[in-house]
Structures are given as C-alpha cells and as structure tokens.
C-alpha cells in the first residue's frame, strides 16, 4: 500500500500544501501534478504588475526553483490527471500512466467561463487565467490600439487600468447596470466608474455582447442593443467555473464546488480538496461558500495539509480579497451578501480614499476599503467577532478607527 500523498493541480493551494505538509512533520513521499508548463505561480499579478510588464516571471513564482526537489517532492509539470480510481487507489495521467496514492489532495482551481457567441474563436479574443494568456494579450499593447473588455468585474477592470496606461483605447462593456455589481454596493461601483472615466477608460453598462466580427481576426464587438465597437483585441472576463469534473467522475460529492468539511475532507476520507475548487462551510456566516481568492487557497492549503498529516485544524476565517487598479488598493473583508445597511466613511464622490461598512441588522458582515488599510484591518477583526456597530460612529471620521471597536 502506498504512503504517497499525491496533489493534483499545481497552483496557490498546492504550493502552500507542500510547504505545510513538511511543516506538519509529514516525511513520506509527495508527488505533484500540474497541467501547466510552470511551477506554481501567483495569479493576481497577471492582471496587474505582470501584465503591465513591471515585474517578470521570477516575481510571480511562488517558491524558488529548487524548493520542490529540496522538499522531496516529485513534480510533473505539463501533465494532466485524467482519472481518479478510488477502488484501486491510483490516479491516471493523460498518457495512461497510473500512480498509486495513500492520500490525495485535489487543488484543481478554476477555469475561465467562456463566452458562447458567434465569432468567439476569432483571433484576438482572449481570456486571462494563466501566464500564456498574458503573453498573448501583451502582444496587442501598441499605443492607439483599440481594446474592448467584456465584463466589468475585478479582472476586466484591472486589465482596463493597465491597458489605458499603455496608451490603448479601452472600452469596457458590462451587462449589469454598474460595474462589480455582484460584489459591492452601488456607492463603490459608481466610484470605480468615475475613476476609470478620469483615467480615460470608457465604460458602458447595460450592454449584452451578441458576437464578435472580423475576417481573419476580431475587428468589432456587436451588442444585442445594436452597438458596434471597433477593436483590435478583446479580453473577456466574465467569471470562472470550478474544476470539479475529476472529482465528480470519481464519485465524490460535488455541489457548486467539491464538497469539503471544515478540515478540507471530501466525501472520501482519503481525499482532501483545497482552493477555488471547493465548497466549504464557514461558521462565521453559517453557510457554505465557494471562494475565488488567494487567502482561501493558502488557508485551505494549510488546513488540508494538517488533515493529511493527521493533525486536524478546522478552517473558519473571514474571507478577504483585494484588487489593484491605478493608485487604488481595494481591500475587501467579509462577504456583503444580504446586507441591510451600507455605511460610508469618507467621501466617495471626490478623492480616492473611503470605506463602506456593510451591516446586517446592526452586525458588521463586511467592508470595502479603498486606500484605507486601517479600516480594512479593523473591520476584518470586528467581522470575525460579529460586532454590533453604531452606524453614526462609523461615519464620523473624528472618531478614530481603533475607537470603532469600543
């Protein structure tokens, strides 16, 4: 019987899990499979400094080149795992090789949601999930080029912010009536719409993309509302889908993500899952979540490693996330879904620094902090405590951030 731990998927969660398995004292063999040609790297810079060309590959790599070998990990890059045979306790790779496992970690992450409209496969229509996507998009970074970004979420807006600074004519098309509608209050959406307009990005909301036109390559985006947007390049950012198929085909329980408990255990006690691919319980909010964030991938990587090493430690934290656009650092703590009151601290209509506190029946559930790190830190702590806050005190800037807790 094998005592090897096999990790499927070589991203943020996997890199953390390797480090944590050794830190937890697991001394047995570890084998890591990733279908990309690269060792695990950070994705956030792909739509920020790496896309802008301000940092190179050496700054996005998660671990130094010799980390895996020196940690005793057998690595298989450019290798897709195609099947998990739970009865025989082995996995199969695309070339038909079988590798036995003692325990398994699924860290398969997520993939982009594709747009299914005529012309979707024209040259010049791109998505952004991996390093190779960045290279393809950067090839269009020529001053005066016209870019249409489909989707006004974080990734679309970050790409727009980088591209406009490179002298590109950028138009963002968003189906909803405001940007980032899925995750923030209209106050925050309208603030970002103002800043992007100030920086030269055109944002059109209420626009449904109906197709892409062009002979050999994309030349225009057409909308269901009758609009036509001439362009040289399109970047589509309309969300992601968790990579759950491998788990589902192996008979594991899947529900909007691979179902795991607070110890990252799937419905098979020998298999854990971590990161974007999971649906996991959160005691602070009292329901299951599927998160798309570095914080979640790191923390679940740690939790899964502890479980696999035999030291169970439950995962129960306030989710947090960030987005960098221009000189704006947006930090989001908690989940604002279901809020009953949004309280603003600072002035979102002028300047570039304020915070929105989200209360549900008086209890703090989330904050969006724009260039307001102290508010973010304080709100993260108070959200974990389910603190009841006085809206008037939050809004009163003469009361210091530290005093909000009192």
Provide the binding-site residues for ligand FAD, judged by CB under 6 A.
8-14, 33-36, 43-44, 46-47, 80-81, 107-110, 128-129, 155, 243, 246, 275-276, 292-295, 297, 321-323
User: Which CB sits closer to ligand FAD, 112 or 344?
Assistant: 112
Query: What b-and-e string marks burial along 161-194, b requiring 16 or more CB atoms within 10 Å of the CB?
Result: bbbbebebbbbbbbbeebbbbebbbeebbebbbe
CB closer to ligand FAD, 12 vs 19? 12
CB of residue 395 vs ligand FAD: minimum separation in angstroms?
A: 28
In this complex, which beta carbon is closest to ligand FAD, that of residue 14 or of residue 147? Answer: 14
Which residue lies nearer to ligand FAD by CB, 174 or 276? 276
Shortest distance, position 298 Cβ to ligand FAD, whole Å: 8
Among residues 254, 272, 251, the alpha carbon closest in space to that of 262 is found at 272
Closest chain position to ligand FAD (CB): 11
Which residues, including other chains, have CB under 8 Å from residue 61's CB and lie 6 or more apart?
38, 39, 40, 41, 42
Identity of the residue, 157 or 218, whose beta carbon is nearer to ligand FAD in the bound complex: 157
Distance CA 240, CA 374 (A): 31
CB of 118 to ligand FAD, least distance (A): 26
Helices 294-308 and 12-23 meet at what angle, rounded to 10?
40
Q: Which residue, 62 or 382, is less far from ligand FAD as judged by CB?
A: 62
- Residues 109, 120: contact at Cβ < 8 Å? no
Q: Shortest distance, CB of residue 109 to ligand FAD, whole angstroms?
A: 2
Q: Where are the alpha helices (DSSP H) in 24-78?
A: 67-70
Tokens, residue 359 = 């209360």
Report, in Å, the least distance between residue 117 CB and ligand FAD.
22
Q: Which CB atom, from 38 or from 120, has the smaller least distance to ligand FAD?
A: 38
The span from the CA of 99 to the CA of 97, in Å, is 7
Cβ proximity to ligand FAD: between 99 and 322 the closer is: 322
Please state the closest distance from residue 33 (CB atom) to ligand FAD, in A.
5
CA distance 228 to 352: 33
**How many Å apart are CA 111 and CA 114, to the nearest integer?**
9
Count of other CB atoms within 10 angstroms of residue 142: 11
Shortest Å, Cβ 170 to ligand FAD: 16
Q: Which helix (H) or strand (E) holds 12?
A: helix 12-23
Q: How far apart are CA 77 and CA 257, in angstroms?
A: 24
Closest distance of CB 106 from ligand FAD, Å: 8
């Amino acid at each position: 019987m094998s005592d090897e731990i096999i990790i499927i998927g070589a991203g943020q969660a996997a890199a953390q899990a390797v480090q944590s398995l050794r830190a937890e004292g697991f001394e047995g063999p570890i084998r890591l499979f990733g279908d990309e040609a690269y060792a695990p790297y950070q994705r956030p810079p792909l739509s920020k400094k790496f896309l802008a060309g301000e940092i190179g590959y050496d700054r996005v790599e998660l671990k130094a080149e010799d980390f895996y070998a020196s940690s005793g990990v057998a690595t298989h890059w450019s290798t897709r795992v195609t099947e998990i045979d739970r009865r025989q306790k082995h996995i199969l790779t695309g070339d038909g090789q079988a590798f036995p496992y003692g325990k398994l970690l699924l860290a398969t992450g997520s993939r982009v949601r594709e747009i299914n409209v005529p012309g979707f496969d024209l040259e010049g229509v791109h998505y952004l999930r991996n390093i190779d996507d960045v290279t393809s998009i950067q090839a269009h970074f020529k001053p005066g080029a016209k870019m249409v970004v489909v989707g006004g979420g974080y990734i679309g807006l970050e790409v727009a912010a980088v591209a406009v600074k490179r002298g590109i004519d950028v138009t963002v098309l968003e189906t909803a009536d405001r940007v980032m509608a899925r995750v923030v209050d209209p106050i925050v959406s309208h603030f970002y719409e103002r800043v992007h307009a100030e920086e030269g990005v055109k944002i059109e909301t209420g626009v449904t993309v109906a197709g892409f036109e062009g002979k050999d390559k994309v030349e225009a985006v057409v909308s269901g509302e009758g609009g036509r947007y001439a362009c040289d390049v399109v970047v589509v950012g309309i969300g992601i889908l968790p990579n759950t198929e491998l788990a589902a085909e192996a008979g594991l329980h899947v529900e909007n993500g691979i179902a795991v408990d607070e110890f990252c255990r799937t419905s098979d006690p020998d298999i854990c899952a971590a990161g974007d691919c999971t649906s996991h319980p959160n005691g602070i909010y009292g329901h299951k979540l599927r998160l798309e964030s570095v914080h979640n991938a790191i923390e679940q990587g740690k939790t899964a490693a502890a479980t696999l090493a035999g030291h169970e430690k439950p995962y129960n934290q306030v989710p947090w996330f960030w987005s960098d656009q221009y000189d704006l650092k947006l930090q989001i703590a908690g989940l604002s879904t279901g809020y009953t009151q949004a309280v603003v601290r600072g002035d979102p209509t002028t300047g570039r620094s304020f915070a929105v506190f989200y209360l549900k029946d008086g209890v703090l559930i989330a904050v969006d902090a724009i260039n307001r790190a102290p508010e973010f830190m304080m709100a993260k702590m108070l959200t974990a405590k389910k603190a009841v806050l006085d809206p008037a005190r939050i809004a009163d800037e003469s009361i210091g951030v530290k005093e909000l807790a009192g």
